[in-house]
Chain A
């Protein structure tokens, strides 16, 4: 493994009964990369991420994160994960949720307090710290979920549809923060439906029916397909791959 490669998969495959959700996925993602997995619903993005965070056992192939095979518990404190579903406790306050997730990573109280202030600032929820999550709007809950994934200051961050249900203004804020994290040397893998957003990624992987049909910098992919946006690039590549 190159010293620089943080995420590496070889022939990763996941089959549920008859359905092949992910087929021979080979990824090499370097440190400090903002990597976007894009593709329609059911293309295997979430399944791929769930295998990478150790929630699903691959049917074949293997994956390594920070040089260690997945799933390895020693690595877990270095990995952050925000699932597509909210996956936060509705009957706790924002602060209580953050404190819980900090506790899972054995973060000491002072660090936890400092991190809480930082992440709440990023997701713009400083004023809602003591509100019950069930009393928050859908977009706000999404922000709490992101905040929970970042509490332990992970090196590698998997975000499954982090900007769904988030208003455009805040979405810009999110992307600014992703860029900041990237600048700190963190590696981010996210999935998104919004093609315009994906253009902000360093590298995008296009998935269709479980397969990675193209991978590269958004500009390169658009140039290769002679189109001006990523959505058209995806459609062109998808059409070609069908042939």
Chain B
């Protein structure tokens, strides 16, 4: 080993970095972005999970425990009570309109406190102390279990609220039955929740890499320039690439989908074709993004530096592994700008909720608009000539 020769290689490598200011900037910025994103996201607990409360409890002698529990639930930061229906309302219509909201995925759950809740609690306490058979007082939760973590968190919050009111405030431990009935995701496991996310993420990652590297290569090898002297239009060129990479994304998603079905027996309640179409739109848009960013990179080396900038926000903020409710409030608007958010949301709705295109049309429209915008901008960027 000759130290001088080793140092010669090191010096050459550092020198070439010095000539590439962009890389130096990335070396500093990417870790900063990563620590900020991971720090905020992992630190973030579930917050503002949307629920409705239907409190039917009539109470006893002007006092209803249902009111206390509802108040407790409204004060937790985990839940966000969208609508509260007090005991005065039409029972059946409040429950059914709230349930409809769960079905439309506007809220995650509807917490129903029974009409005789206070009576049943008091009966329970009496019967327990007299050694008589006890029928637990009931709180029902109609929950969308598309995300098992969210469903579990809602149940836990209700349990905590009941406990706080009855045990801590009144010092009683009556039997309470929390009944959970799942509107969606009857047998959903965590893998069912994240399989659609991983599929979208994988398609996005590969399409982006292929696209940005291919276009940087098209430029650095001067093939793009040569192609531009032929009759092909900028739009045709961009569309040709989009079609190819869209298909690559499709094949890849099919592999993931197939493997997840075979190996993990994941749920696909809706149509796999709709899921594949969602991924196709995402892949087309992302390849356009790759094309646009390729105009900012002179070498493949610079191109791959864009990957963490695209990848980390998508992993952390698009709802792939953690629900959007776990994204800290300051970063939530960012989630709205990440196309993967819509692709994951839509494919999850199709796979677990069994929704069709008519229910995920908003997400489809956003993904299509993203794809069209990226393709148009790519074609326009090609038109700019020196």
The residues of A with any CB-CB pair to B shorter than 8 Å are 16, 53-57, 73, 76-77, 79, 81, 83, 85-90, 101, 104-106, 148, 152
Contact = CB atoms under 8 A, between A and B. Distances in A.
B233 A73 contact: yes
B181 interface: no
A54 B229 contact: yes
B231 A105 contact: yes
Given A56-B385, A56-B386, A86 B230 contact: no
Given A83-B222, A87-B221, A76 B386 contact: no
B385 A55 contact: yes
11 contacts: A53-B229, A54-B229, A55-B229, A57-B385, A73-B231, A77-B230, A79-B229, A88-B221, A89-B223, A101-B230, A104-B232
Contacts of A87: 221-223, 225-226
Contacts of B232: 104
Contact of B225 (A73, A83, A105, A148): A83
Consensus secondary structure, chain A interface: loop
A76 B385 CA distance: 16
Contacts of A106: 231
Contacts of A81: 226, 229
A106 B228 CA distance: 14
B221 A90 contact: yes
B227 interface: yes
A88 B229 contact: no
Contact of B227 (A57, A77, A104, A152): A104
A54 B234 CA distance: 14
Interface in B205-252: 221-223, 225-233
Contacts of A148: 226
Contacts of B226: 81, 83, 87, 148
Nearest to B223: A87
Given A55-B385, A56-B386, A57-B386, A85 B231 contact: no
Contacts of A86: 221-222
A104 B225 contact: no
B231 A104 contact: yes
Most central of B227, B229, B231, B386 by chain A CB within 10 Å: B229
A73 B232 CA distance: 8
Nearest to A152: B230
A105 B223 contact: no
Most central of A85, A87, A88, A106 by chain B CB within 10 Å: A87
Contacts of A88: 221, 223
A106 B229 CA distance: 14
A55 B221 CA distance: 15
Contacts of B227: 104
Contacts of B222: 83, 85-87
B162 to A, nearest CB: 65
Name the 4 nearest CB pairs between A and B, nearest first: A104-B230, A87-B222, A85-B222, A87-B226
A54 B227 CA distance: 12
A183 B221 CA distance: 33
Given A55-B228, A73-B231, A104-B227, A85 B221 contact: yes
Contacts of A56: 385-386
Given A56-B386, A57-B385, A57-B386, A105 B221 contact: no
A92 to B, nearest CB: 10
Nearest to B221: A87
A126 B178 CA distance: 79
Given A55-B385, A152-B230, 8 more contacts: A16-B386, A57-B385, A85-B222, A88-B223, A101-B230, A104-B227, A104-B231, A104-B232
Contacts of A105: 230-231
A105 B230 CA distance: 7
Contacts of A73: 231, 233
A85 B223 CA distance: 9
Interface string B343-386: 00000000000000000000000000000000000000000011
Contacts of B386: 16, 56-57
Nearest to B218: A89
Most central of B230, B233, B386 by chain A CB within 10 Å: B230
A164 B195 CA distance: 54
Contacts of A104: 227, 230-232
A148 B226 CA distance: 10
Nearest to A80: B229
A54 B228 CA distance: 8
A27 B179 CA distance: 88
A55 B231 contact: no
A106 B233 CA distance: 12
A199 B198 CA distance: 64
Contacts of B233: 73
Nearest to A88: B223
Contacts of A76: 229-231
Contacts of B225: 55, 83, 87
A105 B227 CA distance: 10
Contacts of A57: 385-386
Contacts of B230: 76-77, 101, 104-105, 152
A77 B232 CA distance: 10
Most central of B228, B231, B233, B385 by chain A CB within 10 Å: B231
